[in-house]
């Protein structure tokens, strides 16, 4: 399955290449396999990193430089900007893995500001069918992901989402027609399992 164009770029200024296994054997295996390049900014910082995992209200980012706990940063990806604070910074081979917690916002702001636009082909497995649905992930957030697909999902339906690198399990929270035969669904992801080897079909 094709990786997003963003995850094929080479990151400099302290970053790593997205979607690539690092020299210390670490894979960008979380968040359905998306290595999302972002810029972390503060009054004294302009650092490129790769999002490794997206969790409720927090993100884990791989960088080449240690960051002090408590540092306030703005995490930027295209037009998306998240005001955050570094809560942990741990060595990870020759790099560092930082965990940044999003500062509290209104629910309306969170729904728009915490979405990362991506394009990734996946397969959706449902309990009511033996055949998967082809779908495209169009955004990732700290709560789940947005899908475009040719069939609607039922609210509350549990689905399995398969990418080239990972298999995820989630619950459909909403689904609406796009008016052209396609549907947009929001899925809350509650578990992600890396595939062995992370190879595409």
| pLDDT tens column, 70-125 | 899 988 876 667 788 899 999 988 899 999 887 765 544 444 446 778 888 999 99
Q: Which of 113, 134, 153 is the last residue of a domain?
A: 113
Quote the CA–CA distance of 102 and 19 in Å, as a whole number: 24
Domain that holds residue 125: 116-194
Both 108 and 137 in one domain: the answer is no
Q: How confident is the model at residue 195 (pLDDT cuts 50, 70, 90)?
A: confident
How far apart CA 93 and CA 96 sit, in angstroms, is 7
Whether residue 83 is found in the same domain as residue 14: yes
Tokens 């240690």: give the residue. Answer: 66
More confident residue, 79 or 193: 193
Decide: helix, strand or coil at residue 94. coil
Do 99 and 136 sit in the same domain of this protein? no
Instruction: Tell me the pLDDT band of 35, cut-offs 50, 70 and 90.
Output: low
Within a 10 A sphere around the Cβ of 27, how many other Cβ atoms? Answer: 16
**What's the total number of domains in the chain?**
2
Tokens 């703005």 sit at which residue? 74
pLDDT confidence of 44, banded at 50, 70, 90?
A: confident
């Amino acid at each position: 399955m094709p990786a997003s164009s963003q995850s094929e770029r080479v990151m400099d200024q302290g970053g790593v290449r997205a979607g690539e296994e690092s020299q210390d054997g670490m894979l960008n295996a979380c968040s359905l396999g998306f290595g999302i390049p972002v810029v972390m900014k503060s009054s004294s910082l302009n650092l490129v990193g790769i999002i490794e995992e997206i969790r409720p209200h927090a993100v884990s980012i791989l960088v080449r430089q240690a960051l002090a706990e408590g540092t306030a940063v703005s995490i930027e990806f295209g037009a998306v900007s998240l005001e955050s604070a570094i809560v942990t910074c741990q060595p990870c081979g020759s790099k560092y893995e930082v965990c940044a917690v999003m500062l509290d916002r209104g629910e309306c702001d969170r729904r728009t500001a915490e979405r990362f636009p991506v394009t990734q082909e996946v397969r959706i497995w449902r309990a009511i069918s033996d055949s998967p649905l082809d779908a495209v992930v169009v955004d990732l957030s700290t709560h789940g992901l947005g899908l475009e697909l040719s069939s609607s999902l039922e609210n509350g339906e549990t689905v399995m989402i398969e990418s080239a690198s990972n298999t995820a399990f989630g619950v459909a929270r909403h689904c609406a027609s796009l008016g052209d035969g396609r549907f947009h669904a929001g899925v809350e992801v509650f578990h992600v399992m890396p595939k062995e080897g992370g190879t595409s079909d």
